[in-house]
Amino acid sequence: MRTIETVFVSLTLALTALGFVGAYLMHFPPPLSVELPVEPYESAFGVPWRYLVALYVFLVLLGTAAIASAGEVLHIKEIEVIVKDAVVIAILSIIVGLITIAFDLERIERAGYATLGHANPTSVMYWMIMFYILELIFLIVESWFYFRSDLVKQSELKGVKGAVGKILSLRFIGDYIQNRYFTSSALNKLAKYLTTRDKSIDSEVARSIGIVALITAVLAYSNLGALFAASYIPLWHDAITPIYFVVTAIFGGAAILVIATIVTSWATSSKEKLSALPVLRKILSVSLAIALLFTAWRAVIVGYPGVNNFAAISVANLMFGSYALNFWIVEVLLGMVIPIFLLLLRGNSIKVLLTSSVLVIAGVFTYRFDFIFAGQVVKNISGLSLPTPPHPFELMFILGALALVTFAYYAVYKLLPMEVEHAS
Amino acid sequence: MHRREFLKSVITLPFIPGFRIVIPSGRSREMVETGPAKKYAMVIDVDKCIGCGKCVIACKTENHVPMEAPVSRTWIEGYLDDKKLVMNTDENPFLKSKASKGFFVPKLCNHCANAPCVNVCPVYARFHTKEGIVLVDKETCIGCKYCITACPYGATFVHPEEKVTDKCTFCYHRLRKGLLPACVVVCPTGARKFGPLEEGSEVYDLIKKNRTTVLKPEAGTYPRVFYINLDTVVEL
């Protein structure tokens, strides 16, 4: 076990470092390096949104936040045991997603312009940035209340974990107030709250913030869909896209939670979190079935003759052209149909559930890339080589970003009280 | 951007709100954005274009777009029957063709009255001047490329050296000095005409007396580039 852990940590850290090297080289390519692929795109060269945008969409649309908040708001007991994991994964994936999209900017040093100072409220992208930042803030506050009582307990330990507990629970502020003997009763109440465990208050507050976080999450997911739908790209341009994005976020989130629950239960030799699996299986099955229905009708509506010739071309390209293999085999068959059958027939088996979830993640990962590329390629003049392979630097970054999320999740497990017995 | 600036920006977390508060519009931008003025338009006679590419060279020279870069503020599309051709190939496809018709269509930013690029830009780096010309504020553009995907005409691109989006400005810097756009000046057949959309002007008369069309009218963008004798096949 110890050896596996060492290999895991070394590998994820090495890949993360590789990712940042890739990001740097993307912006400052060495003179003799292979140039980024040049493809004609009317007056421009290259498809403007490439692999980093697809990766960003994949990361920020892992809807674990919505599942966690919905579970808390609706008092689903089975979800409550994994609520910390769900919120942590959501926070990490959104942070790494935002880092990813920042590196996709041509002028990364101006990324701050998109938050304040240059706001354009008519831009869907501006609202996307706002919603994701708000969601991140709500999730961090929500998770603080989930963790607080356990952090207070952890602060009594010695060493790094104790220090982390003291800082993150804000107990050091409570201790400071108590040591100063302030006369203000409000301050003394605050000090008492910060230094003692009180799960009843924490749970109630977390639940209230969860409602806001849930609404913000749904707004953010659908807004991202609207960002694509509002473009002059026929494959993206329909009213289903925002709702479709919410559905894909939910099954993507459910699948990643199944994988995280099974892997962490195995790694920590604890079976308590496995009680969440039956509910996750239901969420996964239902959302996959809805997504399959959406996929079918979307193809019919967008590709129907007599509506928009460009749209028909893009759907034909996706279903029968360069992306047919990805679409039919990876996205539909492996990513949706087989998992639905597996979940319905043998979903009680942990191995089958894990296999289904891995297939779903592979499918949704491929879907994000196909959606981005197959949408844009219809605008090009000609000569675009399809499917466009990732540039080595892009590949380095993708591996690095995924490794960063994984390592950060591992680090959270090492430093924060993630155990079920501490959960509310 | 220098390496030091790049690293500094990465380290200082540019996504924190308020990390950098910038005054949205500079003095120069205010001057071109407000106030009544003549609205300008370009009229292109497709029958007169011979595909010589002088407009492309003049535009690149005038606007500092590297000649060797495969991007341009204006470009020419060639068509044989209903087939769109790439014009930067080594072979001239027109010489060997047995097609019944062939023609050239010069393209550029359409300076749409309802411009998608202005609407989608998250940092308001795109704006209309008082003359109705769509410009890019290069000091504000973050290079997110949303304008490239949003433009129905594929008329915008990332400048290979400046690393911000770039597009035709109707040579706004020349216009303010009373000069015509570079592409209009160099066109040997006079296929491109440019001027104010007011009664008595040349472009006004051309639009009034000829059957004109715009590209992709279904997009609802209200372009300010009009075409005479255009085969509708180019809308593909």
pLDDT exceeds 60 at position B215: yes
pLDDT exceeds 50 at position A422: no
* pLDDT for res A247: 95
Which residues touch A7 (CB under 8 Å, ≥6 apart)?
Answer: none
Q: Check A115 against B15: CB less than 8 A apart.
A: yes
In this complex, the residue of B86, B156, B167 whose CB is nearest that of residue A381 is: B86
* pLDDT for res A44: 58
Rounded to a whole number, what is the distance in Å from the CA of B119 to chain A's nearest CA? 6
* pLDDT for res B36: 59
* Interface contacts (A, B; CB < 8 Å): 173
Chain segment B112-150, per-residue pLDDT in tens: 999 999 999 999 999 999 999 999 999 999 999 999 989
* pLDDT for res B10: 42
Q: What percent of chain B has pLDDT over 70?
A: 77
pLDDT exceeds 50 at position A192: yes
Which residues touch A185 (CB under 8 Å, ≥6 apart)?
Answer: none
Rounded to a whole number, what is the distance in Å from the CA of A105 to chain B's nearest CA? 5
pLDDT exceeds 50 at position A153: yes
B13 located within any domain: no
β-strand partners of B108: B74
Closest CA to A29 of B12, B21, B160: B160
Q: Is the minimum CB–CB distance between A381 and chain B shorter than 8 Å? A: yes
Chain segment A68-87, per-residue pLDDT in tens: 888 888 888 888 889 999 99
How far is Cα A177 from Cα B184, in angstroms, rounded to an integer?
Answer: 75
Closest CA to A246 of A266, A280, A221, A263: A221
How far is Cα B107 from Cα B53, in angstroms, rounded to an integer?
Answer: 11
Number of C-beta neighbours around residue A181 at 10 A: 7
Q: Is the minimum CB–CB distance between B208 and chain A shorter than 8 Å? A: no
The confidence band for A119, taking pLDDT boundaries of 50, 70 and 90, is: confident
CA torsion through residues B87, B89, B90, B96, sign: negative
Chain segment A213-229, per-residue pLDDT in tens: 999 999 999 999 999 99
Render the burial of A193-227: b for 16+ CB within 10 Å, e for the rest: bbbeeebeebbebbbebbeebbbbbbbbbbbbbbb
pLDDT exceeds 60 at position A152: yes
pLDDT exceeds 60 at position B17: no
In this complex, the residue of A43, A110, A123 whose CB is nearest that of residue B71 is: A43
* pLDDT for res B70: 77
The confidence band for B29, taking pLDDT boundaries of 50, 70 and 90, is: low
B18 located within any domain: no
Angle, CA A338 vertex, CA A333 and CA A341 arms, to 5°: 145
Residue A381 near residue A280, CB atoms below 8 Å: no
Considering only residues A419 and A251, tell me which one the structure prediction assigns the higher pLDDT: A251
Closest residue in B to A48 (Cα) is B145
- How many domains, in total, are found in chain B? 1
Q: Check B124 against A119: CB less than 8 A apart.
A: yes
Q: Check B146 against A125: CB less than 8 A apart.
A: yes
Chain segment A26-58, per-residue pLDDT in tens: 888 776 555 554 444 555 556 788 899 999 999
Task: Give me the mean pLDDT over the B29-46 stretch.
Answer: 75
Of A187-201, A211-225, A244-258, B216-230, the one with minimum mean pLDDT is A187-201
Among the residues of B82-195, which ranges form H helices? 93-96, 116-120, 146-150, 172-175, 182-186
Cα-based distances in Å from B136 to A206, B29, B147, B153, B164: 45, 10, 11, 16, 9
Q: What percent of chain B has pLDDT over 90?
A: 50
* pLDDT for res B4: 57
Closest residue in A to B151 (Cα) is A232
Rounded to a whole number, what is the distance in Å from the CA of B110 to chain A's nearest CA? 13
The confidence band for A63, taking pLDDT boundaries of 50, 70 and 90, is: confident
In this complex, the residue of B3, B156, B163 whose CB is nearest that of residue A44 is: B156
B11 located within any domain: no
Show residues of chain A in contact with B6, CB under 8 Å: 24, 27-28, 108-109
B2 located within any domain: no
Name the phi and psi angles at B117, rounded to 5: -65, -35
Most confident of the ranges A173-182, A299-308, A389-398? A389-398
In this complex, the residue of B6, B20, B150 whose CB is nearest that of residue A112 is: B20
Closest CA to A234 of A125, A331, A313, A324: A313
Rounded to a whole number, what is the distance in Å from the CA of A228 to chain B's nearest CA? 9
* pLDDT for res B24: 42
* pLDDT for res B23: 38
In this complex, the residue of B17, B69, B152 whose CB is nearest that of residue A133 is: B17
Selected for mutation to probe chain A from B82, B86, B120, B140 (highest A CB count within 10 Å) is B120
The confidence band for A235, taking pLDDT boundaries of 50, 70 and 90, is: confident
Of A119-128, A383-392, B152-161, the one with minimum mean pLDDT is A383-392
Average pLDDT of the residues of chain B: 82
Task: Give me the mean pLDDT over the A173-185 stretch.
Answer: 79
Of A179-183, A321-325, B88-92, the one with minimum mean pLDDT is B88-92
Q: Is the minimum CB–CB distance between B145 and chain A shorter than 8 Å? A: yes
Of A77-86, A311-320, B37-46, the one with minimum mean pLDDT is A311-320
Show residues of chain B in contact with A126, CB under 8 Å: 122-123
CA torsion through residues A372, A373, A378, A379, sign: positive
* pLDDT for res B3: 54
Show residues of chain A in contact with B2, CB under 8 Å: none
How far is Cα A66 from Cα A310, in angstroms, rounded to an integer?
Answer: 35
Q: Is the minimum CB–CB distance between A120 and chain B shorter than 8 Å? A: yes
pLDDT exceeds 90 at position A16: yes
Amino acid at A221: Y
Show residues of chain A in contact with B3, CB under 8 Å: 28
Number of C-beta neighbours around residue B185 at 10 A: 16
Q: Look at residue B35 and give its three-state secondary structure.
A: coil
Which residues touch B210 (CB under 8 Å, ≥6 apart)?
Answer: B228, B229
Show residues of chain A in contact with B74, CB under 8 Å: 43
Considering only residues B31 and A24, tell me which one the structure prediction assigns the higher pLDDT: A24
* Residue B165, domain CATH: 3.30.70.20
Q: Is the minimum CB–CB distance between B188 and chain A shorter than 8 Å? A: no
The confidence band for A423, taking pLDDT boundaries of 50, 70 and 90, is: very low
pLDDT exceeds 70 at position A204: yes
Amino acid at A275: S
Report the run of H or E that residue A166 belongs to, with start and end: helix A159-168
Q: Is the minimum CB–CB distance between B140 and chain A shorter than 8 Å? A: yes
Q: Is the minimum CB–CB distance between B153 and chain A shorter than 8 Å? A: yes
Show residues of chain B in contact with A231, CB under 8 Å: 116, 120, 146, 149-150
Domain that holds residue B50: 38-235
Closest residue in B to A101 (Cα) is B144
In this complex, the residue of B8, B123, B156 whose CB is nearest that of residue A113 is: B123
Q: What percent of chain A has pLDDT over 70?
A: 92
ipTM of the complex: 0.88
Q: Parallel, antiparallel, or unpaired for β B134-136 and B102-108?
A: unpaired
In this complex, the residue of B3, B20, B152 whose CB is nearest that of residue A113 is: B20
* pLDDT for res A186: 83
Q: Is the minimum CB–CB distance between B19 and chain A shorter than 8 Å? A: yes
The confidence band for B170, taking pLDDT boundaries of 50, 70 and 90, is: very high
How far is Cα A27 from Cα A4, in angstroms, rounded to an integer?
Answer: 35
Q: Tokens at residue A240, please?
A: 């289903």
pLDDT exceeds 50 at position B52: yes
Closest residue in A to B14 (Cα) is A112
Selected for mutation to probe chain B from A107, A128, A235 (highest B CB count within 10 Å) is A107
Show residues of chain B in contact with A114, CB under 8 Å: 122-123, 142, 144
Q: Is the minimum CB–CB distance between B11 and chain A shorter than 8 Å? A: no
* pLDDT for res B28: 46
Selected for mutation to probe chain A from B140, B148, B153 (highest A CB count within 10 Å) is B148
Average pLDDT of the residues of chain A: 87
* pLDDT for res A32: 58
Of A255-264, A297-306, A365-374, the one with minimum mean pLDDT is A297-306
Residue B162 near residue B70, CB atoms below 8 Å: no
